[in-house]
Structure 1
Amino acid sequence: MRRFFLFLTSLGLLAACKSNTIDQRGGALAVTFANQVNGSPLVLNTATYTNKAGEAFTVSKFDYFISNIRLIRADGSAYVVPQDNSYFLLRAADPTSQSFTLTGVPAGDYAQIEYMVGIDSLRNTADISQRKGVLDPGSSHTSGMYWDWNTGYIHLKLEGTSPAAPTDVAGARTFRYHIGLYGGYQTRTINNLRTVRIPLGLDAASSRLSVGPNLQTSLQLLVDAGKLFDGPKPFKIAQYPDVMVSPFSATIANNYATMFSFGFSLAVSQ
């Protein structure tokens, strides 16, 4: 079933590639983030999952920023995606947001991809003229990924329900994790920015992704939302049902930094 799912996804990625014009100065790389929980596709509101503590939960929202992308070659050199083109908001409720294409990538082979989960401190504090698209505070308000009261972007949101959560004022058993903070501007804060580096293969020997003007190259990365609970430091929803700016937010950031892994890559001559 897993292989069949990946095969169908790869066909969809290739179809998406065909609709884009490849920058002849280099190549294009179509990237898709496939949200999951414990190896099963993430389905909002209806699917029930279980964490390592044995707590059942459903997910109603799962949104996160990806930024500052670098493609790293086997010799350690890297192509740095121009920063203005390197900010993406991925929303589980919007499938179109879960894929994007990097153009103008220098032709060659790449062994790893690196990126930041969240919005870096420089862009958090930049003039509003330098914050367009998904970084526009207006659109970020609409998507709920910007704090006015704390002046900054929310790196990641996970919300849902669980019988293990305490009853809220509305009588529902909900949990929410809104993780932001970048170290502070004038006042020091927790720094919950995390950088992730992923080998582009199942092992070191196969970690190679080819990009070029005559190739349609696609990459799928798996994202396991369950790692927020079951990462390096597992925790119970019952104990921490609502976390935003408390010190425990750093533990959750450390956990979700481990939720990304290689799915597959495909390069087809055209």
Structure 2
Amino acid sequence: MNDMEVSQQVQQMVQFIRQEAEEKANEISVSAEEEFNIEKLQIVEAEKKKIRQEFERKEKQVEVRRKIEYSTQLNASRLKLLQAQDDLVRKMKEAAENQLRKEAAEKQLQMVGSSDNEDYPKLLEALIIQGLLRLKEHSTQLRCREQDLEIVQSVIGSTKQAYAEKLNVDVPEVFVDEEHFLPGPPGSSNHGSSCTGGVVLATKDGRIVLENTLDARLEVVFKQQLPEVRVPAPLGLWTYTSSAPFLLNCVNELCAILLVLCHTDILVNLMHGATYITLVSFCHQVHQN
């Protein structure tokens, strides 16, 4: 083999090695590109997942804050509505009280100005009878206003007789307290408390007290009508106008006590089931028993 042949053979070997090297380098490059793309895709997906999780977390936080803010505003609105209702109810009750005092004062003034006017005495008589019918005690204590003492003493006999006839029992004992009186009418010299009219009865031992004053009647009627005034008007417009029937019912029902004076039975039926009865010494009674 001469030099030329050796040179050609070497040249072929070099080309073969170079070709294999280039193919190997190309394979490595392709493999590296694939691995890079796979790794890049994994990293991108992982970051996307993190971003989605962070977004969901912040979205939930925003929703929670929105619900809290909504609930806070809703509660504040409800409190404002309740406050407005309470203010209106208080104003209506004051209006009913003023109307009751006006009606009672007029009737009592008419009684003073005319000896023939027996409206207020008949009212007291009806209230006493109704109280006796509620207590159903043979011996009862009675307390009235000082200015009503003479009227009460004048009608006490007829009230006891009427009670006995209604229940077909013996005439009961009714002791009128001539030392301790109910507060006077509004505007008198009494401090704080006042009484528009009526009586308070109690059992002989004082354990059961029945308050049958005009002020107690107002409180009873007011509590009975209160659910009506708590019903919201259409569109939530709870106004004095929308609640005017409630006030009218209060005033009319109370004025009826003063207007239906000549009919004791009607008056008793009107006020049936709406009298304050207080167990003053219940604990003491349990202890004794």
TM-score category (smaller protein): under 0.3
Q: TM-score, normalised by structure 2?
A: 0.24
Higher strand share: 1
Higher RCO structure, 1 or 2 (CA under 8 Å, sep 6+): 1
Q: TM-score, normalised by structure 1?
A: 0.25
